[in-house]
Chain A
Amino acid sequence: MEALPSSFRDNSGFVFSHSGCVYRQVNRCYAEHYQNFMSSGLYQKLVEKHWLVSHEELTDGTITGTSDCYKILKPQQIPYISYPYEWSFSQLKDAAILTLRIQHQAMKHGFMLKDASAFNIQFLDARPVFIDTLSFEPYVEGRPWVAYKQFCQHFLAPLALMSYRDAELSKLMISHIDGIPLSLASKLLPLRTRLNYALAAHIHFHSKLQQDHADDAGTGTAARATAVTISAKGLTGVIESLAKVIEKLRWKMPDTEWGDYYQNTNYSSRADDEKHALVESFLQDIPDALNTVQDLGANTGEYSQIAARYCQLVLSQDIDPVAVEMNYRQRKSDGPSNILPLVQNLVSPTPAIGWGNAERSSFMERAHCDALLALALIHHLAISNNVPLDGIAAQFAELTKWLIIEFVPKSDSQVVRLLATREDIFPSYTREGFEQAFCQFFQIERAVPVPESERILYLMRTR
């Protein structure tokens, strides 16, 4: 049995995969904390609130752990692992508030979170859930929150940067796996954030204190600092202060290319209705049971909502953080909840990061699905980004068995717009060229022109 590459930081246990399921080993050194956590009522409370994944303890001996094993847990399975740099502003904000609520609730039960990593949060049924059952340790009154710095780096700094500067700055977490360094956040945030007490304290002054005490290891100051004692009321005040500042952070969404896309398509209302009906009938034509559907270039998730009726989970991915934000807000308020909106740039998708490039996996490692929707997408890949058609076909064939794809020809006004300012170096970008490229990897099951438009919708199956 081997721990997953992401599971090595905490010596309390590790996560491993066995026959397609994820399990967690509790190490002997954490046995007492685990038993206390389970019997304290906190686990029950958090699971009832859907804040923490539930688990069952394996007692049948079907899986034996390492020599250090105290217990093997089978947690509620998470169908798709996403990362904070793929979340929209509100997703990261909800994840941050959830972390603080768990810490607050834990303190009431005599526990505290020993880490506050954004990677400990996943999305299930359109809401965040905490997945690390071994993150709880007894709260000893007087001790400061050991994960405070990590919380500021993983949540407060990216949220403040997204709110005050640009939503794209959450991508800094790709180059900084343990959260955005506060010195960097402090440099990037505008001057006016120094006038906000909470941001001034938790980011700017925090960064300065970190720098001032960077070389304290082994000195009297460090010894005194590690012995700092804070009353429970004081610590609750710190948590409240973080919750308040995060709750107040807003993201003023810019008007982007896609933000109002559905209001600005070149479709007539009949074409739009027909396209909906076609996508639905193609999904019905797929004979296989669908677990996961990828909707790539999903915009605000209009077609994801159709797909959601035919599968367990739709990964509704788009390059535009505004569209993803709108998608998430709608899913949260109106459902369906089996859609997970994520920010994904297909022409440069999420890389694998961390130790050995293996701690957090790449988009391609996670993206395998039963069916893939690529609606109004091909021209962005082939023309805006010059990807050859057979390259697109090869990549889609690597990801899925079933493909629902829309071909948008050069005569379509959206492609005319893309080619208006550049030389047309795409002689093979035609219906024939498209079919030829895709037929190397797929078999065309259906090809139907979308009425009152220049476009053709295909249902394909890998060869």
Chain B
Amino acid sequence: MAKYLLSALFAISFSAPAAAYLDPGTGSMILQGIIAGIAVAGLTIKNYWYRIRAFFGKETPTSLLDDDDLPKKPEDS
């Protein structure tokens, strides 16, 4: 647990600037750091939750980003 929390805290640190043709925007960079920190903390809690679920034989849900295809059928709205 401590390892995960530590990585959440250090999700934001500092390194050399990147070169790109887009202006990434100061506010946008700072925000990514904040959201990343929250996401890592959330992931830590989720991982524990998934371990509990796995103990009871439930599968870990897959990420939308790992799917091989785009959603086959759009949802009915």
Contact = CB atoms under 8 A, between A and B. Distances in A.
Interface string A183-226: 00000000000000000011001101111111011000111111
Name the residue in A209, A222, A333 with the highest tally of chain B Cβ atoms < 10 Å from its Cβ. Answer: A209
Interface of A: 9-12, 49, 90, 94, 97-98, 100-101, 104, 114-115, 127-128, 137, 140, 142-150, 152, 201-202, 205-206, 208-214, 216-217, 221-231, 233-241, 243-244, 247, 250-253, 329, 332-333
B36 A150 contact: no
Contacts of B28: 144, 148-149, 152, 206, 209-210
B29 to A, nearest CB: 5
Given A143-B18, A146-B18, A237-B42, A97 B70 contact: yes
A11 B29 CA distance: 23
A228 B65 contact: no
B33 A144 contact: yes
A91 to B, nearest CB: 10
Contacts of A147: 22, 24
B31 interface: yes
Q: How many of chain B's residues touch chain A, expressed as a range? A: 35 or more
Contact of B77 (A201, A202, A253): A253
Nearest to A246: B64
B21 A114 contact: yes
B65 A240 contact: yes
A226 B17 contact: yes
Contacts of A144: 18, 24, 28-29, 32-33, 36
19 contacts: A98-B70, A137-B20, A140-B18, A142-B13, A142-B15, A146-B24, A148-B24, A148-B28, A148-B32, A201-B35, A210-B25, A211-B27, A221-B26, A229-B33, A234-B36, A234-B40, A241-B35, A251-B77, A333-B73
Contacts of A11: 21
B16 A240 contact: no
Contact of B22 (A146, A237, A240): A146
A115 B22 contact: yes
B31 A230 contact: no
Contacts, number: 175
A97 B68 CA distance: 12
A149 to B, nearest CB: 4
Given A146-B18, A233-B43, A238-B36, A329 B26 contact: no
Most A C-beta atoms less than 10 A away, residue of B65, B68, B71, B73: B65
B40 A209 contact: no
B52 interface: no
Given A128-B70, A238-B39, A253-B77, A229 B14 contact: yes
A235 B21 contact: no
Contacts of A205: 31
A439 to B, nearest CB: 44
B74 interface: yes
Given A97-B64, A247-B64, A237 B25 contact: no
Contact of B65 (A9, A90, A100, A251): A100
A51 to B, nearest CB: 9
Contacts of B69: 49
Nearest to B21: A10
Given A100-B65, A145-B32, A332-B74, A231 B40 contact: yes
Nearest to A143: B18
Nearest to B65: A104
Given A149-B24, A216-B26, A226-B29, A127 B17 contact: no
**Complex A-B, nearest 9 residue pairs according to Cβ-Cβ distance, in ascending order:** A237-B39, A234-B36, A209-B27, A234-B11, A149-B28, A213-B26, A210-B27, A226-B17, A104-B65
Contact of A230 (B20, B36, B67, B70): B36
Nearest to A152: B28
Given A127-B70, A211-B27, A231 B65 contact: no
